[in-house]
Chains A and B, each alone.
Chain A
Amino acid sequence: MIIHHPILGPRDAQEFVYLGDAGLINRPDGMTAGIEAFHDYAYNRDNPAGEHRELWYHEQGDRSWLVVTRNTVTHEIKKVELARDVARAQGRSK
Chain B
Amino acid sequence: MRYSGFRVIAEALTGHKGWKPVWRDPAPQAEYDYIIIGGGGHGLATAYYLAKEFGQARIAVLEKGYLGGGNVGRNTTIIRSNYLLDGNEPFYEFSLKLWEGLEQDFNYNAMVSQRGIINLIHTDAQRDAFTRRANAMILHGADAEMLSREDVRKLYPWLNFDNARFPIKGAIAQRRGGTVRHDAVAWGYARGADMRGVDLIQNCEVTGMRIVGGRIQGVETSRGYIGAKKVGVAVAGSSSKVMAHAGMRLPIESHVLQAFVSEGLKPLIDGVMTFGAGHFYVSQSDKGGLVFGGDIDGYNSYAQRGNLPVIEDVAEGGMALMPAIGRVRLLRTWGGIMDMSMDGSPIIDKTHIEGLYFNGGWCYGGFKATPASGWCFAHLLANDRSHETAKAYRFDRFLKGLMIDEKGQGATPNLH
Interface positions of A (Cβ within 8 A of B): 1, 12-14, 18-21, 35-36, 39-40, 42-49, 52, 54, 70, 72-75
Contacts and interface: CB of A to CB of B under 8 A. Distances in A.
Interface of B: 238, 240-241, 249-254, 298-303, 307, 309, 342, 398-399, 411-414
Contacts, number: 70
B296 to A, nearest CB: 10
Contact of B300 (A14, A54, A74): A54
Contacts of B252: 45, 47
Contacts of B253: 20-21, 45, 47
A35 B398 CA distance: 11
A75 B307 contact: yes
Nearest to A45: B253
Contact of A20 (B241, B249, B414): B414
Contacts of A36: 399
B398 to A, nearest CB: 4
A44 B254 contact: no
A46 B249 contact: yes
Contacts of B342: 42-43
A84 to B, nearest CB: 21
7 contacts: A20-B413, A47-B253, A49-B238, A52-B300, A70-B299, A72-B301, A73-B302
Contact of B240 (A12, A14, A20, A47): A47
Chain B at the A interface: mostly helix, strand, loop or mixed? mixed
Given A21-B253, A74-B303, 4 more contacts: A1-B307, A18-B298, A45-B252, A72-B302
A43 B241 CA distance: 17
Contacts of A70: 299
Question: Looking at A36, A45, A54, which has the most chain B CB atoms within 10 Å of its CB?
Answer: A45
A83 B133 CA distance: 41
Contacts of A1: 299, 307
Given A39-B399, A75-B303, A18 B414 contact: yes
B307 A43 contact: no
A35 B396 CA distance: 12
Contacts of B398: 39, 42-43
A20 B85 CA distance: 27
A45 B399 CA distance: 14
A45 B249 contact: yes
